[in-house]
Amino acid sequence: MSLPDITDEELRAVSDVLRSGQLSIGPQIEAFEHEFANALGAPYACAVSSGTSALHLAVIAAIDGGPRRVRSLPVILTSPFSFVASANVALYENAVPVFVDIDAATFNIDPDIAVNAIRDLKDGGAACERWLPRSIRGDVQLSAVMPVHAFGQPCDMDPIVAAAAAAGVPVIEDACEAIGATYKGQLAGTIGDAGVFAFYPNKQMTTGEGGVVVTRRSDWASLFRSLRNQGRDVFDSWLNHSRLGYNYRLDEMSASLGRVQLRRLDTLLANRERVATWYTSHLSSHELLRLQVISPRTTRMSWFVYVVRLDAQVDRDHVMALLSRQGIPTRPYFSPIHMQRFYRERFDYRRGDFPVTEDAGSRCLALPFSGLMTESQVTYVSDALVSAVESATTRRSA
Ligand SMILES: *Cc1c(COP(=O)(O)O)cnc(C)c1O
């Protein structure tokens, strides 16, 4: 489905670290954080062991740093059309992820719905109830809004940020799929109070496993550094711990790999954009395929995956089986979070709760995608897709 783009430069950087003998808490992570913050124009960057741990730290900062009414349940407003980690981090803190449906064209949360939900959840009381999962009743408190920039396209941030500011709650951007993307010229991840990036090998840049949380809040930055390092504060000695923390450190090999990938990021993104453009030119005029709509507010797309939405008459499983026979892997992407078994059981979600998300979840298909694909590979996949879609269609009789 994807392939990391690793050159001799990355190999050299990682073996230099291995030869140095300093494999954790060393100069590489500091340099990586410094370079990452500079590249994004963010005041602080904290590198951690994964995108998920970065999201977790941001959620801890929002919940513990916010005002807290007694006996009220913290909630995080987010998208059900995402990777499961973006909602799981709320559960780690015994908070409730509250979903709002997405916009059918961009796959990002619908800003009008999000604005209404933020206002109602802030007011508390009866107005909240229609946004909460069936199994949750009682006093809740909005702790953060977490828009997810799905597939590398930024959410419509202005109305979301304004509503969050009016409600006095922080915005955490899940920018794990959107490094380098811009919204009205602003880099994804630098618009809210914190922005989270992930470097798993299928992402635009990789550290193997790894992630970064950027923030413009110095109090959050110090908290992140302490939490990732077993709750030590900078002035604590090795076996002194100021708070409950985690081992979310990024090792030196990963940080050195990340430094090289970051230097090459513009090339990595340009290569992916070239591949996406090939796909688009092959697939855009087909009546049974819908491509992702790029909003005019998206001043730069950061291509993470290439997803097509199949027409309702097309049998997706059949398409996948036909492609698989020709050696072409594909994935349904995303699988809506509220339909995952443990979410359904815990929150009593039912089919129909988020119809736009469910429709996207049942018809979207991610194609093989990386910056290393050649034009002939893209042509091969596109041709195979078009014929698979045509033979997997139950045409309504006229
Ligand atoms: C990849 C991803 C994550 C999690 O990143 P990991 O590094 O795999 O923990 C979170 N949210 C979204 C939207 C992602 O795509």
Contact 292, 107 (CB under 8 A): yes
Which residue from 237, 213, 164, 175 is spatially nearest to 49, judged by alpha carbons?
A: 213
- Using the mean position of ligand 1's atoms as its centre, give its distance from the Cα of residue 49 in Å: 12
- Using the mean position of ligand 1's atoms as its centre, give its distance from the Cα of residue 198 in Å: 6
Nearest-CA residue for ligand 1 atom 7 is 51
Q: % helix / strand / coil in the chain, to the nearest 5? A: 45, 15, 40
3-state secondary structure 156-179: CHHHHHHHHHHHCCCEEEECCCCC
* Rounded Cα–Cα distance for residues 78 and 99 (Å): 5
Q: Which of 91, 177, 213, 246 for a ligand 1 pocket mutation test, highest count of atoms within 8 Å of Cβ?
A: 177
- Using the mean position of ligand 1's atoms as its centre, give its distance from the Cα of residue 206 in Å: 12
Compute how many other C-beta atoms are within 10 angstroms of the C-beta atom of residue 315. 16
Give the position of tokens 């920018």.
175
- Using the mean position of ligand 1's atoms as its centre, give its distance from the Cα of residue 157 in Å: 20
Return the ligand 1 atom nearest residue 149 CA: 13
pLDDT of residue 123: 81
User: Which distant-in-sequence residues (6+ apart) come within 8 Å of 57 by Cβ?
Assistant: 46, 48, 213, 223, 224, 227, 228, 248
- Position 135 pLDDT exceeds 60: yes
- Using the mean position of ligand 1's atoms as its centre, give its distance from the Cα of residue 233 in Å: 27
- Using the mean position of ligand 1's atoms as its centre, give its distance from the Cα of residue 88 in Å: 11
- Using the mean position of ligand 1's atoms as its centre, give its distance from the Cα of residue 43 in Å: 23
* Rounded Cα–Cα distance for residues 307 and 321 (Å): 17
* Strand 289-291 relative to strand 298-300, pairing: unpaired
Whether the predicted model's global pTM rises above the 0.95 cut: yes
User: Which distant-in-sequence residues (6+ apart) come within 8 Å of 341 by Cβ?
Assistant: none
User: What confidence category does residue 398 fall into, taking pLDDT thresholds of 50, 70 and 90?
Assistant: very low
Dihedral (C-alpha) 293, 294, 296, 301: value to the nearest 10 degrees?
Answer: 170
Determine the average pLDDT of the residues in 9-34: 98
* Rounded Cα–Cα distance for residues 49 and 212 (Å): 8
- Position 100 pLDDT exceeds 60: yes
Determine the average pLDDT of the residues in 147-167: 98
- Using the mean position of ligand 1's atoms as its centre, give its distance from the Cα of residue 271 in Å: 21
Return the ligand 1 atom nearest residue 209 CA: 7
- In three-state secondary structure terms, 231 is coil
pLDDT of residue 237: 80
Distances (CA, A) of 322 to 85, 237, 288: 31, 60, 16
- Position 357 pLDDT exceeds 70: yes
Name the range with the highest mean pLDDT among 61-75, 116-130, 165-179, 235-249: 165-179
Determine the average pLDDT of the residues in 48-59: 98
- Residue range 306-345, pLDDT digits in tens: 999 999 999 999 999 999 999 999 999 999 999 999 999 9
Residues near ligand 1 (Cβ within 6 A): 50-52, 82-83, 85-86, 148, 174, 176-177, 198, 200, 211
Q: Is 285 left (phi over 0), alpha (psi -120 to 50) or beta?
A: alpha
User: What confidence category does residue 126 fall into, taking pLDDT thresholds of 50, 70 and 90?
Assistant: confident
Return the ligand 1 atom nearest residue 54 CA: 9
Q: Which of 48, 49, 79, 86 for a ligand 1 pocket mutation test, highest count of atoms within 8 Å of Cβ?
A: 86
- In three-state secondary structure terms, 105 is coil
Q: Which of 57, 173, 200 for a ligand 1 pocket mutation test, highest count of atoms within 8 Å of Cβ?
A: 200
Distances (CA, A) of 172 to 85, 131, 369: 14, 19, 28
- Residue range 66-86, pLDDT digits in tens: 777 777 899 999 999 999 999
